[in-house]
Amino acid sequence: MIEETPRWRRVVDALVRSILPVVLALVVAGLIMLAMGSNPIDFYAGVWKYGLTGNNWQDSLRLMAPLMIIALGLIVAFRGQLWNLGYNGTYLLGSVVAAGFGPVLYPVMPGWIVTAILIVGAILIGAIWSILPAVLKARFGTNEIITSLVMSFIAIGVVNLLIKGPMHDPNPKVTAPQTATIPKADLLPVLDSTRVHIGVVIAIVLALVAQFVLSRTSFGVRLDVFGSSPKAAQHVGISRSWMIVLLFCMSGALIALAGSIDVLGNVTYQRANWNPAYGDAVMPFVFLARLSPLAAIPLVAFYSVFANGGINAARSVGLNSDFLLVVVGLILVFMTITEFVGAKRRLGQSYLPPGMRQTVLGLVQRRGTARRAKA
Amino acid sequence: MSDLLSASVLAAFITAIIVQTMPLIMAAIGETIGEQSGVLNLGIEGVMLVGAYSGYVAALASGSAWVGMLGGIAGGVVANLLMLVLNTWLGLNQIVIGLAITIMGEGLTSVLYLQNYSKHPQSVPQDAWPIPGLSDVPVVGPSIFRQSGIFWVLILVMIVVAFMLARTNWGLSIRAAGQKPSSLDAAGGSVMRTRTQAVLLNGAFVGLGGAFLSVITTGTFTAFMTGGLGFVAIVITMLSRGKVHWIVITSLIYGIAVAIKNPLQLVGVTVPADVFQMLPFVVVMLTLIIFARSSVVPPALGTSYTRGAR
């Protein structure tokens, strides 16, 4: 496209545009903290301290496993220009499969078989749950933003009912609505002498595989063609309906997988009304990574440290951990603003494939085209 | 069984329905105005929380629930300024900004509440207008005719909005902006101005709904107190297709479903609250499946508009 720009320049521009929104968000969050009478320097020092130093980096890595897999699930859907906003419900479905069936199955079967069953089960549920919005979109063009969101709320209700009903801890002493705990010996194996479980490795391997599939295989090309223009895809023989269903199922499967991994490696049981809403937190970083799995790794790692350290850091300066939500929201806002300014000044590449960019930035692009057409 | 039908239980039941339903109706009216004009505000969960918080603060500071409502309106409008500037004016993506508003609204109100009120939670003064004569009637007297004056004003507001949307040129402009923005432009209107009004009204009504929730329904603010009510409002908006009377009917069904929990418990039937919370979403999904062919949402929903573009 822009042949005359040297490669290093493009890389620098791209880096600036991925990092600038985060920096701006952190600065504005700091100002908000000042306004609330908390010391932002203490907060950010706390993030460093509680997120990385000592053994804290291990907890950050444990948090990264589900976040990274969810990011992949979002990337797959967003690349195809499908807004799968059902991530919270799908995630909980995946986790409840592990937390509900795990404690029942582990005592009666060899551990690794159970783990395999639980993970496959979560993947299947995630895929099946995502079929309905996909089919409605493929067949009738029903807005998937609404259907996936609605399905998410239904899933949350179903999960709560399951935990309060059939999946409730059979131990009569436990009155709180929660499942039984998975025995410690059956949790995902940890890397030696740390608390980091193998889910982190799975997540990173999956990211690398996703990167390879998306950038080096014919499927990746077809996905990008479909994402930039479903009509063009139809012309080169890519079935639109099939693509929508496939991408939605893959997205749902990955997100549910993240839920099961989180329970099997980290959480060990599930309470009713537990909803970490990881998808909301990861979404900005998925866009900042320009929907590239490889680029998402460092960004998600950054957020994992920030979120893990931020919980204690926020407490230490007299805020509560929900302050992290403000930072995530600010990143989203600054991301769209940077994208807007960048598209006007043509700084480097956009975050998004052409099709997605059109949705996100319809206005700016059309203005640009109009100006070029005039010239 | 006699317990269930006793006057006090029935009165409490009706009161519960009213206070549960009203915030939802207000939020859904706000969302309807936005959606009809083509702006899908996924941020109303956050806007509602901001309205609830600012309404609570205003009501506490002034000692008046009425000022609380105004505070909620102001908070909602301010929260929606982000949507207005970034989406309506600059044309950036509605979904991303909507989610950002929801996330920030949740975070900010939770943090602010923790800092300022969590150690000394305060209740808002209640405001009741017993209507002479009618308020002494059993059952409906203590439930309906002792409501705050705000209740009556809001009913009036509903009627006005229903009329404005259905019968005036302004309502027509709003719908045109959502159905076919270019036709509104061609007719000499302004999509930008129409959508600006719609987004501001969206914020005002949703904020008002939030304030009603905190000031009147519960009398206090708690973090994440909307618990997905904003999304329920989005769903009710979808079901109602821009008709205010449908908003009222569907919201009432939701309100009854939520409020019936207590009377049912009295007669020994316990249905988990989750069933009722899920219900509206199941209904929407069924409606979408059954009527999938006919579109439920305005065609231009979610798309930015540039004058003169293709």
Q: Tens digits of per-residue pLDDT, A264-291? A: 998 899 998 899 989 989 988 998 888 9
Torsion from C-alpha of A262, A266, A270, A273, nearest 10 degrees: -70
Quote the pTM value. 0.86
| A308 and A59 Cβ atoms separated by less than 8 Å | yes
> Which of A335, A288, A326, A291 lies closest to A307 in space, CA to CA?
A326
Which residues in A38-52 are b (16+ Cβ under 10 Å) and which e?
bebeebbebbebbbe
Furthest C-alpha separation in chain B: 68
Quickly state the pLDDT bin for B294 (edges 50, 70, 90): low
Mean pLDDT calculated for residue range B80-89 = 89
3-state secondary structure of A271: strand
Give CA–CA dist B173/B154, Å, rounded: 24
| A197 and A265 Cβ atoms separated by less than 8 Å | yes
Tokens encoding A156 = 């949350």
Cβ distance of A333 and B86 shorter than 8 Å: yes
Quickly state the pLDDT bin for B5 (edges 50, 70, 90): low
Cβ distance of B111 and A283 shorter than 8 Å: no
Determine which of A75-84, A220-229, B296-305 has the lowest per-residue pLDDT on average: B296-305
pLDDT in tens, A194-211: 889 999 999 999 999 999
Give CA–CA dist B59/B47, Å, rounded: 18
Whether A47 has a pLDDT exceeding 90, the answer reads yes
Whether A362 has a pLDDT exceeding 50, the answer reads no
DSSP A159-225: HHHHHHTTTS-S-TT--SSBPPPPPGGGSPPBPTTSS-BTHHHHHHHHHHHHHHHHHHSHHHHHHHH
Using an 8 Å CB-CB cutoff, list chain A residues near B115. Answer: 36-37, 318-319
Quickly state the pLDDT bin for A219 (edges 50, 70, 90): very high
| Cα radius of gyration rounded to whole Å, chain B | 20
Query: Phi, psi at residue A271, to the nearest 5°?
Result: -95, 150
A323 to chain B, any CB pair closer than 8 A? The answer is yes
Give the rounded percent of residues in chain A with a pLDDT score beyond 70: 90
Determine which of A47-51, A140-144, A235-239 has the lowest per-residue pLDDT on average: A140-144
A145 to chain B, any CB pair closer than 8 A? The answer is yes
Cα B135 to the chain's mean position, in Å?
A: 27
Domains of chain B from N-terminus onward: 2-121+142-290 (1.10.3470)
Give CA–CA dist A131/A144, Å, rounded: 11
Instruction: Please classify residue B261 by burial: count the beta carbons closer than 10 Å to its beta carbon, then call 0-12 exposed, 13-18 middle and 19+ buried.
Output: middle
End-to-end Cα separation, chain B, in angstroms: 65
**Per-residue confidence (pLDDT) for residue A364, from 0 to 100:** 43
Residue of B115, B281, B293 lying closest to A150 (CB–CB): B281
| A122 and A202 Cβ atoms separated by less than 8 Å | no
Using an 8 Å CB-CB cutoff, list chain A residues near B84. Answer: none
**Per-residue confidence (pLDDT) for residue B293, from 0 to 100:** 62
Whether A366 has a pLDDT exceeding 80, the answer reads no
A140 to chain B, any CB pair closer than 8 A? The answer is yes
Residues in chain A: 375
Cα A364 to the chain's mean position, in Å?
A: 27
pLDDT in tens, A81-125: 899 999 999 999 999 999 999 999 999 989 899 999 999 999 999
Whether A371 has a pLDDT exceeding 70, the answer reads no
Give CA–CA dist B29/B23, Å, rounded: 10
Query: Phi, psi at residue A196, to the nearest 5°?
Result: -75, 120
Average confidence score pLDDT of chain A: 87
Quickly state the pLDDT bin for B214 (edges 50, 70, 90): very high
Cβ distance of B107 and A326 shorter than 8 Å: yes
Whether A360 has a pLDDT exceeding 60, the answer reads no
Query: Phi, psi at residue B126, to the nearest 5°?
Result: -90, 155
Cα B123 to the chain's mean position, in Å?
A: 22
Cβ distance of B281 and A157 shorter than 8 Å: yes
Which residues in A335-364 are b (16+ Cβ under 10 Å) and which e?
bbbbbbebbeeebbbbbbbebbbbbbbbbb
> ipTM score here?
0.86
pLDDT in tens, B116-175: 887 777 787 777 777 777 777 777 777 777 778 888 999 999 999 999 999 999 999 888
Per-residue CA distances from B306 to A346, A375, B85 (Å):
20, 20, 14
